[in-house]
Structure 1
Amino acid sequence: MAPSSSSASTPKVLVTSPSAVEECFTKNDIVFANRPRSPARKHLSYDYTTIAAASYGDLWRNLRRITTLEIFSNTRLERTSGIRGEEVKFWVNQLKKNCGDGGYSKVNLKSKFFELSFNVITMMIMGKRFYGEGVEDVEEAKLFQNLMREHFEFANTSNPADIFPVLRWVDFFGMEKKFVANAENMDKFLQDLVDKRRRISASTKTKTLIDNLLSLQETEPEFYTNNIINGIIMVR
């Protein structure tokens, strides 16, 4: 076995021996199924309660069941097919507008495809666009973009305290304070979105992921807490 280089903070292991594979995935499969713990994961994943950070066990199995049934099932994907189709049409129309009447315009397709994919996801989850043209609230969109950029940067940043846990006691580099600030701001932002959807859910025909989770919260409030719902939204 040898460590594999990666830009992410989590180390990777390359297994090249059949006996090592058996050791990892047969004798110690549960150990390897768990995610490594770190200050970044703790604060950015609601204290290890998202599906991307939870240890193997009842919580992880329940989150996997929710993801399978409420997000990736054929029924759910079919119900949201209209959203994906409308977003693609909207995206194509915006490209046509940029080109003018029969004219031409230079377009950065990499950024445009990024905006399309992100808006498809956020429309399915929240019923809102946050990138490109057509956003309802420009300030809200800017806040969301900044929070997401920070979140991804922190999630992929190497933190010396991950290697030397003693540094967590003093936080020399101020990283943990940044994790906490981003987590609090992200939680507030997501909770505001959930509360807004809660108020309009009954009057809208198009049901988002948040609407589905809120209906589940009514039947199982002890499991579908606000943190669990926000964690599912963030990971999605």
Structure 2
Amino acid sequence: MDLLLLSISLISLFSLLLAFNFLHQPRHKNLPPSPSFSLPLIGHLHLLRHPVHRTLHNLSEKLGPVLSLRFGSCLAVVVSSSSLVQECFTKNDIILANRPLVKSGKYLSYNYTNLVISPYGEHWRNLRRISTLEIFSISRLNLFVGGREDEVKRLLCKLWDGYSFEEFKVVEMFPMFMDLMFNILMRMMSGKKNCGDDLKDEERSKKFKEMVKQVLAIAGAGNPGDFIPLWNWIDPTCYNKRVKKLSKTSDELIQQLIDEIRNQNDGENTMIQHLLGLQNTQPENYSDQIIKGLIQVCFSFSNI
């Protein structure tokens, strides 16, 4: 009991110190207008309500097209004017190119090194060049048109065989389209059909789908620790533990796929085979970590 009281007292004292530091932190000059009421530790987070875009719209009507909010220890600027947004992404695009370095990006994006979250710089420009030329170019995508056509035919046959003889049937198409995109992507990357022709491939497909689903869920969900450092220290939801475990699972699955294709002596020229071929001549630009990060990005795009 004494230990519990001591722990509570220490946490309370630490929280008060953080709150004092928050209230007396140096103010930035020339910031856009901001709501006057800001709470210790959490700042303006208490103002956010679902749907968030309506909350921001209501604030912009009161404070103007550009306003500043403090999300815990992070400063955010909200721009709601279309002309100003255009200026942000044209004239000032490099200044605003970086994304916040959230905790999930550290573990799930190889310490902020994949294309989606990597800070703007030489590494990011190299990843963009690789993606543009070696993955998403018209010539590369045209190599896999046969696989895409085959997967669409498989989906149509599945719909015909499963539902054509029923007078009326409600069919949920969204998961079928998700499977279609996933199967196309897997065929482009590894040549595997993942459609039940091979039990090993089918099992791998299930693991990949579950992994991608979990990564997108945990990356898309808000983590209070990204805005409130004290939350990470306490970690009441075991977020850090979960994201580290998922990071290990994701890395092992993708690395197994790369190693399997690396050890193949023949086969079609898949995306991974192509990148591994470039690895032989440009190892510094096509390391396994870079290839794994590119695969992550492809999976993310397939679920947009």
Q: Which residue of 2 aligns with 1:125?
A: 189
**2:284 aligned to 198, 206, 222, which one?**
222
2:81 to 5, 12, 16: 16
Which of 257, 276, 284 is the equivalent residue of 1:193? 257
Distance 1:15 1:85, change over 3 A: same
Which residue of structure 1 aligns with residue 266 of structure 2?
Answer: 203
The question of 1:5 aligning with 2:52 is answered yes
> For the residues of structure 1 that align with 2:240 and 2:189, how far apart are their CA atoms?
29
Superposed displacement of residue 23, structure 1: 6.5
Determine which structure has the larger helix proportion and give its number. Answer: 1
One-letter amino acid matched to 1:82: G
Check whether the contact 2:88–2:96 (CA below 8 A) recurs between aligned residues: no
Question: 4+ residue stretches of structure 1 with deviation over 6 A?
Answer: 1-4
Q: Which runs of 5+ in 1 are unaligned?
A: none
Secondary structure of 1:85's counterpart equals helix
Q: TM-score of the superposition, structure 1-length normalised?
A: 0.84
Pair 164,75 (structure 1): closer, same or farther in 2 beyond 3 Å: same
Q: Cα distance 1:60–1:95, how it changes in 2: closer, same or farther (>3 A)? A: same
Paired letter, 1:156: G
1:208/1:19 CA distance change after superposition, 3 Å = closer
Change (3 A) 1:20 1:228: closer
Task: Confirm whether residue 213 of structure 1 aligns to residue 260 of structure 2.
Answer: no
Residue 25 and residue 151 in structure 1: after superposition, are their counterparts in 2 closer, same or farther (change >3 A)? Answer: same
The sequence identity of aligned pairs, in percent, is 35
Answer with 1 or 2: which has the greater Rg.
2
Residues in 1 aligned to 2:230 and 2:250: alpha-carbon distance in whole angstroms: 28
In structure 2, the residue matched to 1:94 is: 158
Q: Deviations over 1:149-179 (max 9, x none)?
A: 1101101111111111233334332111111
Contact 2:98 2:119 (C-alpha < 8 Å) held by counterparts:
yes
Query: Judging changes above 3 Å, is the alpha-carbon distance between structure 1 residues 199 and 29 closer, same or farther for their aligned structure 2 residues?
Result: same
**Aligned mates of 1:17, 1:140 — CA distance in 2:** 45
TM-score normalized by structure 2? 0.67
CA distance in 1, matches of 2:135, 2:219: 23
1:232 partnered with 2:294: yes
What residue number does 1:66 align with? 130
CA displacement, residues 15-57 of structure 1 (integer Å, 9 cap, x when unaligned):
317567647753x533310111011111111111110011111
Give the aligned CA root-mean-square deviation in angstroms. Answer: 2.7
In structure 2, distance between residues paired with 1:21 and 1:96: 46
Count of residues in Structure 1 that have an aligned counterpart in Structure 2: 226
Do the aligned residues in 2 keep the contact of 1:5 with 1:12 (CA within 8 Å)? Answer: no
Change (3 A) 1:12 1:158: farther
SS in 2 for 1:32: coil
What does residue 142 of structure 2 align with? 78
Distance 1:110 1:135, change over 3 A: farther
What SS does the corresponding residue of 2:291 show, helix, strand or coil?
A: helix
Task: Give, as a single letter, the amino acid of the residue that structure 2 aligns with 1:169.
Answer: W
Aligned-partner residue type, residue 139 of structure 1: E
Question: Which amino acid in the other structure matches residue 285 of structure 2?
Answer: F
Structure 1, 14-23 or 77-86: larger mean CA deviation: 14-23
Q: State the SS of the aligned residue for 2:96.
A: helix
What amino acid sits opposite 1:208 in the alignment?
A: T
Query: What is the DSSP-based 3-state SS (H/G/I as helix, E as strand, rest coil) of the residue aligned with 1:31?
Result: coil
Q: Which residue of 1 aligns with 2:99?
A: 35
